[in-house]
Chain A
């Protein structure tokens, strides 16, 4: 399991908004939801739109360029076949820490 990496301050992400951050070589988008945190790839797989600038609902975000919508829990496009990587986020002492979400593969479970 990967280590937690600090990506920024929790206070810099307002409720139901997103901000982008650097995570190693990648850019991710971190969102503050009513029930906690979510993080996904920053670039929309369609045309690279900045997902951190999207409109956020209870559990999804809409890309500001062409309105592709992604489930923040699964990373899957709603009403489509694209998907983005999801990350786990936790808040420690006012800082946001991120690591890749653990994917449970069916083969492993079997």
Chain B
């Protein structure tokens, strides 16, 4: 324990293990001896992302810090510990378990409860609130058998709950007392655009509906509907109440602290007793109780400094909110209305961008449908920047990239992380992936909606070297779906046309290979091929090495070769003085150190087709010898592997695809750890997907067991096509399978109609795919394809291969 000798550190008791308690703990530990008393039986978790529990995630996924984070910092965490009473003058606290805790300072982070408005039948068993993991568990359970659900409350929380219910397939109505949704954050015009967008998700919106009673079956107590003040009724068997919060002030009141709506604090976050501070939803500062997450971090920072004896003042926060509903982008900050406002809106697309000014300074923003540059605007609002040209600022924001944000701009509102902190962490920690940046800075660890910006910052710092999918074109913030929509709607056939249409790929160019894949996939390979959009590997059909030379891997289906092929390979190695010959993990032979100018001649003399080892494509199908020679073989794995490889080769994919067929469950071809793995078992074949044994190790999921090799082949090809159509560019199958879930994939590829449609699209794409790009040795696609301005490629000697008997 590195902290035991630091006895002069103040002892701070944090009451409450919510986001606020954790935020204070982050600021204090290890500079104070912290005791964190959590009323719930779990470590602090991210309540903002509670909706994810409705989507099927477990509470562990929301945990803010792992257990050893606390032990490393000497934080004494007490789970399931309620504080029953505080003796402020004595500096003690009595826990619900009868234990006495000692402290120099107490920080109350008791949070809030869900507010349930007074209405008849509110205590019926089918009425849930949306506040903690247990509530989510109840909602999920009730939703399973629900015919129709009602969510009371058309604010942020209510809309997120309704969206999750709709996603679970439950017909749902949002019942809102006011005349417009999210009236605290939105102006009338934005609310009017939001309602139809919500309805498009399959959620009915009922405005100006005051719920008077929950109607329950007299005999069973089961909910059967709602009655409104107007006398009308709504049939439903599940009611979720999400109208607001009620600060938890019981302990503060019992201790004799000043309490109004919340626990009254001054600018140092100190309550009416100098020993006690309060932070978060339980605190009332300058008459305001904040019910959203962003201000908590500002308050926690000040409270921590006060507790450590430093001078710091909290002067309020600009409230900001982000709606976490798939398909609807909405960010608000500050005031939605004011003395001057400028609006840019597109009625057709339902986008609305408004900037509110107060005395010539940025005071609020509403961004709906198009949230580009929200960080820039939020920063302007937070700093009350003077704005001479508000329309110009809106315009500037819509084109701002992460590079242009000021260091002070808050990127992650959930965890209060600024751009400057993220950039510093990337530089000093030499971070290379978004995941690492999220883990180190906590930016993106909450609702996750800022992750694209985190990735963008990482890409900028790392010079674009981040292989991650979120935006296909991060510069223009265009997603794969958006771009595919443009390609389809405008009937585009090339990357140039797509770039000309929407700008994608023009700024940094890093996404051009992704765009090239997208265009080819949407067009079923009947696109116009443009080499400038391809990575060098796909321009010269070989894998670039660290010295600028290339590696050559000929096709060797199923890893099966012959004396004749081996002899030609040996002769080519000799003739072209190829420095390294290596057997690969995928049962292939790799010739390394080949100069660009040598490629056409090497290919010609190998007399074998391209193995596509350089491409985001189906790489290899590895096989074991199966029934041919193995005494344990149950199925003819070599035959199926070779057939599969022939069927799949030449097709490009979002990322590389490695495959294997094993003749029995001993799995010598390692089918369990391939993107697609087939295993012969007694009485049939098993098809696994999403396996990996590289930078990530993951056992594949069993997609299905089928009877015949033909079935296995069909299923494999259907999955491959599904992956080709649905995955993000540079998303491996294991990432894809984890992201969308096995069940969704099974639903898509096992259904006979869907499977037939996938196989038909696969057939179309395959029929137009180039089976052997190495033929370009005879007809180069562009001038000097395999040479430089001052060099020529070595002549392709057409005729009998070297070493062949004359």
State whether B532 touches A56 (Cβ < 8 A). Answer: yes
Nearest CB on A from B243, distance (A): 46
Residue among A7, A30, A50, A57 making CB contact with B509, cutoff 8 Å: A57
A8-B790, A58-B507 known; A80 vs B463 contact (CB < 8 Å): yes
| Complex contacts, B461 vs chain A, CB 8 Å | 79
How far does the alpha carbon of A52 sit from the alpha carbon of B544 in the complex, in Å? 13
- A50–B791 Cα distance when bound, in Å, is 15
Question: Within B432-475, which residues are at the interface with A (CB < 8 Å)?
Answer: 460-465
Bound-state Cα–Cα, A81 to B784, Å: 33
| Interface residue B512 (Cβ < 8 Å from any Cβ of A) | yes
Q: Which residues of B contact A8 (CB under 8 A)?
A: 789-790
- Tell me, yes or no, whether A66 is within 8 Å of chain B by CB: yes
- Whether, in the assembled complex, A88 has its beta carbon less than 8 Å from a beta carbon of chain B, the answer is no
Residues of A within 8 A of B464 (CB): 62, 67, 69, 79
- Residues of A4-52 at the interface with B, using a CB-CB cut-off of 8 Å, are 7-9, 11-17, 19-22, 30, 47-50, 52
Judge whether A55 and B512 touch: CB under 8 Å: yes
Q: Does chain A have a CB within 8 A of B788?
A: yes
Interface pair A16/B532, CB less than 8 Å apart: yes
Closest to B513 in A: A55
Bits for B366-407, please: 1 = Cβ < 8 Å to A, else 0: 000000000000000000000000000000000000010000
Q: Which residues of B contact A61 (CB under 8 A)?
A: 509
Encode contact with A along B501-531: 1 for CB under 8 Å, 0 otherwise. 0000111111011000000000000000001
Decide if B753 is an interface residue (CB 8 Å cutoff).
Answer: no
B-chain residues with CB within 8 Å of residue A19 when the two chains form the complex: 784, 788-789
B548-A53 in contact (CB<8A):
yes
Q: Are B782 and A14 interface neighbours, CB within 8 A?
A: yes
Contact of B544 among A47, A65, A78 (CB under 8 A): A65
> CA A31 – CA B508 in complex, angstroms?
15
A15 to B636, CA, bound (A): 49
B544 adjacent to A12 (CB under 8 Å): no
List of B residues within 8 angstroms of A15 by Cβ: 532
* Given known A-B contacts A30-B789, A49-B548, A53-B548, A14 and B463 have beta carbons under 8 A apart: no
B762-798 interface (Cβ within 8 A of A): 782-784, 788-790
- Cα of A13 to Cα of B783 in the assembled complex, Å: 7
Residues from 545 to 565 in B contacting A, C-beta threshold 8 Å: 546-548
* Residues A55 and B509 in contact in the complex (CB < 8 Å), given A19-B789, A66-B465: yes
> Is A64 within 8 A of B784, CB to CB?
no
Q: Tell me, yes or no, whether B352 is within 8 Å of chain A by CB.
A: no
B276 to chain A, nearest CB (A): 47
Q: Is B531 a contact partner of A60 (Cβ separation < 8 A)?
A: no
Report whether A57 and B505 are in contact in the complex, using a CB–CB cutoff of 8 Å.
yes
**B535 CB–A CB distance under 8 Å:** yes
Whether B536 is near chain A, meaning CB under 8 Å from some CB there, is yes
Cα distance A53–B547 in the bound complex, in angstroms: 12
* In the bound complex, CA of A79 to CA of B459 (Å): 9
Cα(A3)–Cα(B504), bound, Å: 39
**Chain A: interface residue total (CB-CB under 8 A):** 40
- Please judge, given known A-B contacts A12-B783, A19-B784, A50-B548, whether A7 and B463 are in contact too, CB under 8 Å: no
Closest beta carbon of chain B to A58's beta carbon, Å? 5
Question: How many whole Å from B420's CB to the nearest CB in chain A?
Answer: 15
| Chain B nearest Cβ from A31, distance in angstroms | 10
Bound complex: CA of A65 vs CA of B509, how far in Å?
Answer: 15
On whether the beta carbons of B544 and A53 are closer than 8 Å, the reply is yes
Q: How far is the CA of A70 from the CA of B599 in the complex (A)?
A: 28
CA distance A22 to B787 in the complex (A): 13
CA distance A60 to B475 in the complex (A): 13
CB <8 Å contact, A12 and B789: yes
Interface size on B, residues (CB 8 A): 31
Knowing A53-B544, A57-B507, A65-B544 are in contact, say whether A77-B463 is a contact too (CB < 8 A).
yes
A53 to B548, CA, bound (A): 9
**Chain B residues near A56 (CB, 8 Å)?**
509, 532
Instruction: Decide if A20 touches B512 in the complex (CB within 8 Å).
Output: no
Q: Which one of A17, A52, A53, A69 contacts B508 once the chains associate, using CB atoms below 8 Å?
A: A69
A9–B548 touching, CB < 8 Å: no
Which of A50, A58, A60, A96 is B789 in contact with, Cβ under 8 Å? A96
With A7-B789, A64-B535 in contact, do A58 and B462 touch (Cβ < 8 Å)? no
Tell me if A75 is interfacial: C-beta within 8 Å of chain B: no
Q: Which residues of A contact B510 (CB under 8 A)?
A: 55, 57, 62, 67, 69
CB neighbours (8 Å) of A50 from chain B are 544, 548
Tell me which residues across on chain A come within 8 A of B548, comparing CB atoms: 48-50, 53
- Of A49, A57, A96, the residue contacting B506 (CB under 8 A) is A57
Nearest B residue to A15, CB-CB = B532
For the complex, give the distance between the alpha carbons of A11 and B780 in Å. Answer: 14
Cα distance A68–B462 in the bound complex, in angstroms: 8
- Minimum CB distance partner of B788 in chain A: A20
Expressed in whole angstroms, the Cα–Cα distance for A61 and B789 within the complex equals 18
Shortest Cβ gap from B354 to chain A (Å): 32
A110–B548 Cα gap in the complex (Å)? Answer: 43
Contact B535 A20 (CB under 8 A): no
A54–B464 alpha-carbon span in the complex (Å): 13
Say how far A78's CB is from chain B's closest CB, in angstroms.
7
Write the nearest CB–CB distance from A37 to chain B, whole angstroms: 12
Report the separation of the CA atoms of residues A15 and B496 in the bound assembly, to the nearest whole angstrom: 11
Contacts of B788 in A (CB 8 A): 19-21, 52
Instruction: Specify the chain B residue showing the minimal Cβ separation from A9.
Output: B789
Contact A62 B544 (CB under 8 A): no
CB distance from B120 to the nearest CB of A (A): 62
Closest B residue by C-beta to A30: B789
Most chain A CB neighbours (cut-off 10 Å) among B463, B464, B532, B544: B463
Complex CA gap A48/B544 in Å reads 13
Inter-chain contacts of A11 with B (CB < 8 A): 783
Which A residues lie within 8 Å of B789 (CB)?
A: 7-9, 12-13, 19-21, 30, 96
Contact B790 A78 (CB under 8 A): no
The answer to whether A64 and B544 touch across the interface, beta carbons within 8 angstroms, is yes
Q: If the complex has contacts A7-B789, A67-B464, are A60 and B508 also in contact, measured as CB distance less than 8 A?
A: yes
Q: Mark A57-100, 1 if CB is under 8 A from B, else 0.
A: 11011101111110000000111100000000000000010000
Q: How far is the CB of A29 from chain B (nearest CB, A)?
A: 9
Cα–Cα, bound, A30→B532 (Å): 14
Residues of A within 8 A of B532 (CB): 14-17, 55-56
Judging by beta carbons under 8 Å apart, are A79 and B535 in contact? Answer: no
Complex alpha-carbon distance, A75 and B508, angstroms: 14
- Say whether A69 contacts B463, CB under 8 Å: yes
A11 to B783, CA, bound (A): 7
B784 to chain A: which residues have CB within 8 Å? 12-13, 19
A62, B533: Cα distance in complex, Å: 12
Task: List A contacts of B508 (CB < 8 A).
Answer: 57, 60, 62, 69, 78
A25 to B122, CA, bound (A): 85
8 smallest beta-carbon distances between A and B, as pairs: A57-B509, A8-B789, A16-B532, A67-B465, A21-B789, A53-B536, A12-B784, A50-B548
Q: Beyond A47-B546, A52-B788, A79-B462: 12 further Cβ-contacts under 8 Å? A: A8-B789, A12-B784, A14-B531, A15-B532, A21-B789, A55-B532, A56-B532, A58-B507, A62-B508, A64-B536, A69-B463, A78-B460
**Complex A-B: 30 CB contacts under 8 Å:** A7-B789, A7-B790, A8-B789, A8-B790, A12-B789, A13-B789, A17-B531, A17-B782, A19-B788, A30-B789, A47-B546, A48-B547, A49-B548, A53-B539, A54-B536, A56-B509, A56-B532, A57-B509, A57-B512, A58-B509, A62-B464, A62-B510, A65-B546, A67-B510, A68-B463, A69-B463, A69-B464, A69-B508, A79-B462, A80-B463
Residues of B within 8 A of A (CB): 403, 460-465, 505-510, 512-513, 531-533, 535-536, 539, 544, 546-548, 782-784, 788-790
